[in-house]
Amino acid sequence: MNVSKKPEDWIEELRPNWESVFEACSTCPAVGSARGYRLPGQGVIVEALNGLVAMLFPGCLSHDASPAFVGDANGTVDAAKIARSLYDCVLPVAKYYCDRQECVFCGDCEKFARESVQSLFKSAAEIRETLQQDVQSAYEGDPAATSQLEVVMSYPGLYAITVHRVAHQLVKAGVPLIPRVMSEYAHSKTGIDIHPGAQIGPGFFVDHGTGVVIGETCVIGSKVKLYQGVTLGALSFAKDEHGNLVKGIKRHPNVEDNVIIYAGATILGGDTVIGHDSVIGGNVWLINSVPPFSKVYNDQPAPRVRTKSST
């Protein structure tokens, strides 16, 4: 008669398997836990991000409108707790890059983490003022919007730009990794992919939003409106003599003030500039600059309608 093994017995038999995984991880420079860094997980970073987003819209995305407290789904949390949570994310990441001799900081990881968090909180009022212009543009630019509160609480474009403005401030402070985790989380929630390195002016509005891509070196002016499926991307990728991609160069277009780009348009290239007050029509493919006040569109297609009587 066969006796079934207890769970603790057959689970223990798996030990060589997971030990082999950890052994393999120990040779990988990108794995922090195997090298003692205790890097923050994505969930920890997202938790800090959610607190920051709620802090920027107290009383709308939180349960408490006081300056000392902001809210989450379970009640209220202290803003100081958010700052500490972010610090606890930045510090091990800074140590990781420092130990890998990729340190571009001051050599004092604790000081760098502290100053990065201080920089973000000191700029919070400016970020909030810019976000108010984003909210206003969304409300004025969408006839379906019934109130600014509706924009704040339900529009994916507003959420995406909020996360971007937080992540971009961390990029400006020199924080690696964490801004990208934040932006990709927003991407997963909204379908809007904004690299945290992109520079975006106030009054920015993404209508509908799904499929929008904004590259790292984009520079976007004020009061720019994008529709779904717009790509502001790279035309090509330069390589060095060894065939490796050259990083840190201008690859994505500039979009000046008061530009509207309709659904499905693709604008590529680091030398491409869309002049202010221009309109780019739907499904346009553009790799050249256009002057201010331009209207760019494809020739209208000639659809064929076949009715039952004509078949």
Task: State residue 74's pLDDT score.
Answer: 47
Task: State residue 35's pLDDT score.
Answer: 57
Q: Which residues, 6+ apart, have CB-to-CB distance to 49 below 8 Å?
A: 163, 166, 182, 185
3-state SS, one letter per residue, for 198-248: CEECCCCEECCCCCCEECCCCEECCCCEECCCCEEECCCCCECCCCCECCC
The pLDDT of residue 102 is above 90: no
Q: Report residue 80 as tokens.
A: 């100081």
Task: State residue 284's pLDDT score.
Answer: 98
Is pLDDT larger for residue 25 or for residue 121?
121
Lowest mean pLDDT among 27-31, 233-237, 281-285: 27-31
Determine which helix (DSSP H) or strand (DSSP E) holds 105, and give its type and residue range.
Answer: none
- DSSP single-letter state for residue 290: B
Lowest mean pLDDT among 63-67, 81-85, 171-175, 231-235: 63-67
Mean pLDDT of the chain: 88
Q: Report residue 213 as tokens.
A: 């891509």
Mean pLDDT confidence for 60-65: 56
Q: Please spell the DSSP secondary structure of 109-139, one letter per residue.
A: HHHHHHHHHHHHHHTHHHHHHHHHHHHHHHH
- Answer yes or no: are the C-beta atoms of 45 and 178 closer than 8 Å: yes
All domains of the chain in start order, with CATH: 37-191 (1.10.3130.10), 211-301 (2.160.10.10)
pLDDT digits (tens, 9 = 90+) for 157-215: 999 999 999 999 999 999 999 999 999 999 999 999 999 999 999 999 999 999 999 99
The pLDDT of residue 73 is above 50: no
Q: Which residues, 6+ apart, have CB-to-CB distance to 44 below 8 Å?
A: 85, 88, 89
Task: State residue 101's pLDDT score.
Answer: 65
Confidence of residue 62 (pLDDT cuts 50, 70, 90): low
Strands 199-200 and 75-78: unpaired
The pLDDT of residue 244 is above 90: no
Task: State residue 64's pLDDT score.
Answer: 46
d(CA 266, CA 82): 38
Determine which helix (DSSP H) or strand (DSSP E) holds 69, and give its type and residue range.
Answer: strand 69-72
d(CA 129, CA 133): 7
- Helix, coil or strand: residue 11: helix
- Helix, coil or strand: residue 35: helix
Task: State residue 32's pLDDT score.
Answer: 54
Confidence of residue 301 (pLDDT cuts 50, 70, 90): confident
Confidence of residue 129 (pLDDT cuts 50, 70, 90): very high
Q: Which residues, 6+ apart, have CB-to-CB distance to 213 below 8 Å?
A: 193, 230, 231, 232, 233
Q: Report residue 132 as tokens.
A: 């108010």
- Answer yes or no: are the C-beta atoms of 199 and 218 closer than 8 Å: yes
Task: State residue 69's pLDDT score.
Answer: 44
pLDDT digits (tens, 9 = 90+) for 135-165: 999 999 999 999 999 999 999 999 999 999 9
Cα 222 to Cα 149, 202, 231, 259, 289, distances in angstroms: 22, 5, 18, 9, 18
Task: State residue 300's pLDDT score.
Answer: 87
Is pLDDT larger for residue 284 or for residue 236?
284
Task: State residue 15's pLDDT score.
Answer: 81
- Give percent above pLDDT 70 in the chain: 86
